[in-house]
Chains A and B, each alone.
Chain A
């Protein structure tokens, strides 16, 4: 509306009109209009399942819209309809996308990755000098510094992302879509990315920024488009907006602020002394780590993915044995890599990847609910499964944890991520474990499910459980943790009081600065 009252002088580069996409009974996109102008940074905000991915897939030619049209400016700036269902047409029209999961060939260099696919098959070489000159010009203009001659596998995640963006720029994109680009970055790296995006937009590039991190949207974007349940519910300038308002638009109701009573830590439940896990050459390892998690507190582990969190989680979950050092759970030494021993020691474990480690897709909700306890007398007698009892308790858990599913007999893979995670939570927390390992417990969940997970973890803390929270989401860590430790390149910092800690310090430590330098 604003736009029409104060006409924007910048030319339209992209115009989606009435895009509708249905999957059976589900309307993933419901008459969505979206205009993007040259040089504009537009945020596309929405929960999981709000229709962001579907909309971008239509734009990118992976899906064909049931209704509606996509118009994109041609070389002369005239809007022309984009044929649906063709990724080639989208690429040729100047639409570029950097996906959350990079599409890079790891055994090729950055240069090769950027040029790959732009040369006809029958031409010799990769167009060496010209191509390099162009890429170097792009680097100079955008500030996307990266060593072009190193294999991508050896680049850091942030550098890989820069290669991805350069790849798009090299193809002369006019609309750049960034899908959750900061998920893998430290706050400082994210700031660097934002500076680059601002530079590029100043040169006329239109950017669509997909995110669910509200502060980033407010910091970077001039306009925000909010999708909810497949429909566009807001399209407004970010100026004058705040996080609470955006969250409400996104979820459609007010988000309750979390109640977090002060912590009253008790005796140590988990203690690591001089622990080393993982092979010395691996990136995801721990070296000489000390950590203590006491009853009734939540200790958060911050860090960029792959810096040792995986090794820590594997150690606590009972999947990896320490190379050196002492691990004590409730004062008892725990050495062997044995998930059963952890269960016996009252450790509840929420794995990072619920599809891969947390659930067995083909089994039912009820069977997944008793996965860890099937051998116990409440679930079996004389080796036979007590099906009626399990079913009754699963029904009870489904109610208590508000799992939306057709019933206890439904295959768990039919459930949404949030509901699947609720089943995992029910399994882990019903036993009232003394120690809870929560590894990325809200990854990929929408705000509603995330709030629910947070509430459960705080409740576990409230009844005296020690909670080890490993997360890449700093908002989550600061919202839940009593103390926070940072892991970088296998080194775990001492846990610091979250009260006296700010995001900037943690961010610098995530990038490898010591606590003293960071403060």
Chain B
């Protein structure tokens, strides 16, 4: 018989070990269907690793892909900490991207040290405003935020498509539904010339560190944690539950909006309706892999990005479908959830005596 005994505290080494173990377990689990298809398992994994981090170029590509995932992962982590189930990071990302081109594609002319902050603030504000609506619906009327945020994703995406077909369509783009490019003054510079990697990564890492400090060290971070863990007791103790929730909405929506700004102003240069291949949803996976820790979001995002970049490269080399990446990430998620049991409980094996 197996018995789960709750742990009084979880040692840090165990949390780290469980995270790494989960990643390895995911690879082992992925090897099973891979072997069943007759593909060379070992080769495939080696190619994936090489594709993700085999050289400077591969690594830069992985980090580029990780940048929006850090932002959306942080958005999910801070919201889920407060038990605000924001499934709308995808929509907030597009709102941020829309604000980026609205402000940065010629509306305002200013030097970079003015225009870049302005664009970032505008994008964060757009994402935050978008999430504040469901948060207010939740605190005022008790509306379920999962449904509202999820449905708003589709509204925003359709709105973006409408704008790209209409008022914001770039006349110079030969009929493609895309926005005018952002000005050079609004662009996030590249980190290394010749690579796609840009300053968005630095912003994302700084955001993670700031969020960590905010959550663990400040009064408002304390209030957010308290409200998330037990809103009833928080209210009883006189903590401002509604304000804390609104603040979480601003932070989470703002971070998702920054993901959009970073993708447009750092990478693509203009907005299209296929800007994000689901970064908003992948952020939920990243946050869960990171156990909702802001600092943990960084490696988790790099892991997920690496798996996708590596799988692309592997699939080009030996023809195994890059859906393998989804499989690895899905298994990693399951492994982390199971691993969570290990961090919260001590597992004791009990010999059951014959009855």
Most buried by A among B219, B229, B238, B348: B238
A363 near B226: Cβ-Cβ < 8 Å: yes
CA distance A375 to B218 in the complex (A): 10
Measured CA separation A384–B210 after assembly (Å) = 13
Complex partner residue of A406 from B8, B222, B223, B233, CB under 8 angstroms: B8
Residues of B close to A387: CB separation below 8 A:
217
CB distance from B350 to the nearest CB of A (A): 9
Residues on A with beta carbons closer than 8 Å to the beta carbon of B229: 360-363
Contact status of A83 and B217, CB under 8 A, knowing A351-B236, A406-B8: no
Contact mask for chain A residues 11-31; partner B; CB cutoff 8 A; 1 contact, 0 none: 000000000000110000000
Q: Are B219 and A380 in contact (CB under 8 A)?
A: yes
CB-CB under 8 A from A383, the residues of chain B are 218-220
Q: Is the Cβ of A342 less than 8 Å from the Cβ of B238?
A: yes
* A157 vs B19: C-alpha distance when bound (angstroms): 50
A372-B217 contact in complex given A360-B226, A410-B9, C-beta closer than 8 Å: no
Instruction: Check if A414 is an interface residue, CB within 8 A of chain B.
Output: yes
Most buried by A among B6, B237, B240, B353: B237
Q: Per a CB cutoff under 8 Å, which of B222, B223, B352 touches A64?
A: B352
In the complex, what residues of B have CB within 8 A of residue A359's CB? 230, 233
- Chain A residues near B8 (CB, 8 Å)? 406, 410-411, 414
Q: Is the Cβ of A360 less than 8 Å from the Cβ of B233? A: yes
Cross-chain contact A319 with B222 (CB below 8 angstroms): no
Cross-interface CB contact of A356 among B220, B233, B352, cutoff 8 Å: B233
User: Are B222 and A385 in contact (CB-based, < 8 A)?
Assistant: yes
* Complex Cα gap A360–B353 (Å): 39
User: Considering the chains assembled together, what is the distance between the CA atoms of A85 and B355 in angstroms?
Assistant: 9
Complex CA gap A338/B242 in Å reads 13
Residues of A within 8 A of B218 (CB): 383-385
Q: Which A residues touch B235, using CB under 8 A?
A: 319, 339
- Minimum CB–CB distance from A311 to chain B (whole Å) comes to 15
A371 near B239: Cβ-Cβ < 8 Å:
yes
> Given known contacts A371-B239, A375-B219, A385-B217, is B5 in contact with A24 (CB within 8 Å)?
yes
* A340 interface contact, C-beta 8 A: yes
| Chain B 192-248 interface residues, beta-carbon cutoff 8 Å to A | 217-220, 222-223, 225-226, 229-230, 232-240
Distance A361 CA – B6 CA, assembled complex (angstroms): 13
Indicate which residue in B233, B238, B352 contacts A343 across the interface (CB closer than 8 Å).
B238
Given A64-B352, A85-B355, A319-B236: A360 in contact with B220 (beta carbons within 8 A): no
Q: Is A268 close to B, CB under 8 A?
A: no
Query: Could you say which of A85, A356, A367, A372 contacts B238, with CB atoms under 8 Å apart?
Result: A372
In the assembled complex, the CB of A67 is this many whole angstroms from the nearest CB of chain B, namely: 8
CB neighbours of B239 from chain A (8 A): 371, 374
Interface centre among B217, B218, B220, B233 (most CB of A within 10 A): B233
Known A-B contacts A360-B230, A383-B220, A406-B8; the reply to A340 vs B238 at CB < 8 A is yes
Q: How far is the CA of A403 from the CA of B262 in the complex (A)?
A: 50
Q: Once the chains bind, are B219 and A339 in contact (CB under 8 Å)? A: no
* Contact status A360-B234, CB under 8 Å: yes
The reply to whether A363 and B225 contact each other, CB–CB distance below 8 Å, is: yes
Contact status B222-A374, CB under 8 Å:
yes
B69 to chain A, nearest CB (A): 27
**What is the bound-complex CA distance between A84 and B353, given in angstroms?**
10
Q: Does A310 contact B (CB under 8 A)?
A: no
Contact A23 B5, beta carbon cutoff 8 Å: yes
Contact call B355/A84, Cβ cutoff below 8 A: yes
Nearest CB of B to A265, in Å: 28
Instruction: Give the contacting residue for A411; candidates B9, B230, B234, B352; CB below 8 A.
Output: B9
A338, B8: Cα distance in complex, Å = 34
Given contacts A84-B355, A406-B8, A411-B8, contact A357 B236 (CB under 8 A): yes
Q: What B residues does A339 contact at CB under 8 A?
A: 235-238
Whether the pair B355, A371 counts as a contact (CB closer than 8 A) is no
Verify if A294 is at the interface (C-beta below 8 Å from B).
no
Nearest CB of B to A175, in Å: 20
C-alpha gap A379/B222 in the complex (Å): 12
What chain A residues lie within 8 Å of B355 (beta carbons)? 64, 83-85
Q: Shortest Cβ distance from A72 into chain B, in angstroms?
A: 15
Which residue from chain B places its CB closest to the CB of A414 in the assembled complex? Answer: B8
* B220 CB contacts on chain A under 8 angstroms: 383
Beta-carbon contact of B217 and A384 below 8 Å: yes
A357-B222 Cα distance, complex, nearest whole Å: 17
CB proximity of B142 to chain A, nearest CB, Å: 17
In the complex, A288 has a CB within 8 A of chain B: no
Q: Tell me the complex Cα distance, A387–B236, Å.
A: 23
- In the complex formed, the residue of A with least CB distance to B1 is A64
Contact B226 A371 (CB under 8 A): yes
Tell which of B220, B225, B232, B235 has the most Cβ of chain A within 10 Å.
B232
Query: Could you say which residues of chain B place their CB within 8 Å of the CB of A362?
Result: 225, 229-230
The answer to whether A49 has its CB under 8 Å from any CB of chain B is no
- Determine the distance from Cα of A23 to Cα of B5 in the docked complex, in whole angstroms: 9
A347-365 contact mask (Cβ, 8 Å, vs B): 1 or 0: 0010100001111111100
Is A435 close to B, CB under 8 A? no
Could you tell me the distance between the alpha carbons of A367 and B229 in the complex, rounded to whole angstroms? 12
A310 CA / B280 CA spacing, docked (Å): 44
| Residues on the A chain within 8 Å of B225, using CB | 362-363
| Complex alpha-carbon distance, A362 and B82, angstroms | 13
Q: What is the CB-to-nearest-CB distance from B179 to chain A, in angstroms, rounded to a whole number?
A: 39
Cβ of A272 within 8 Å of any chain B Cβ, yes or no, is: no
Find the B residue at minimum CB distance from A23.
B5
Q: Which residues of the other chain, A, contact B226 by a CB distance below 8 angstroms?
A: 360, 363, 367, 371
Chain A nearest CB from B220 CB (Å) reads 7
Interface readout for B11-55 with A: 1 if CB under 8 Å, 0 if not? 000000000000000000000000000000000000000000000
Q: Report the separation of the CA atoms of residues A83 and B353 in the bound assembly, to the nearest whole angstrom.
A: 12
Nearest chain B residue, comparing its CB with the CB of A371: B237
- Residues of A contacting B238 in the complex (Cβ-Cβ under 8 angstroms): 318, 338-340, 342-343, 372
Contacts of A165 in B (CB 8 A): none
- A411–B235 Cα gap in the complex (Å)? 20
Q: How far is the CB of A184 from chain B (nearest CB, A)?
A: 23
Q: Is the CB of A374 within 8 A of B236?
A: no
- CB pair B236–A358 under 8 Å, yes or no, is yes
- Say how far B215's CB is from chain A's closest CB, in angstroms: 11
Residue of A nearest to B236 (CB): A357
8 A Cβ contacts from B312-355 to A: 348, 352-353, 355
* From A85, A340, A361, A410, contact of B230 by CB (8 A): A361
Residues of A within 8 A of B (CB): 23-24, 64, 66, 83-85, 317-319, 338-340, 342-343, 349, 351, 356-363, 367, 371-372, 374-375, 379-380, 383-385, 387, 406, 409-411, 414
29 CB contacts below 8 A, A to B, read A64-B353, A64-B355, A83-B355, A339-B238, A356-B233, A357-B232, A358-B233, A358-B236, A359-B233, A360-B230, A360-B233, A360-B234, A361-B229, A361-B230, A362-B225, A362-B229, A363-B225, A363-B229, A371-B226, A371-B233, A371-B237, A383-B219, A383-B220, A385-B222, A387-B217, A409-B9, A410-B9, A414-B6, A414-B9
User: Besides A339-B238, A371-B234, 7 other CB < 8 A contacts?
Assistant: A23-B5, A338-B238, A340-B238, A357-B233, A359-B233, A383-B219, A411-B8
Closest 8 CB pairs of A and B: A339-B238, A340-B238, A414-B8, A362-B229, A357-B236, A360-B230, A371-B237, A372-B237
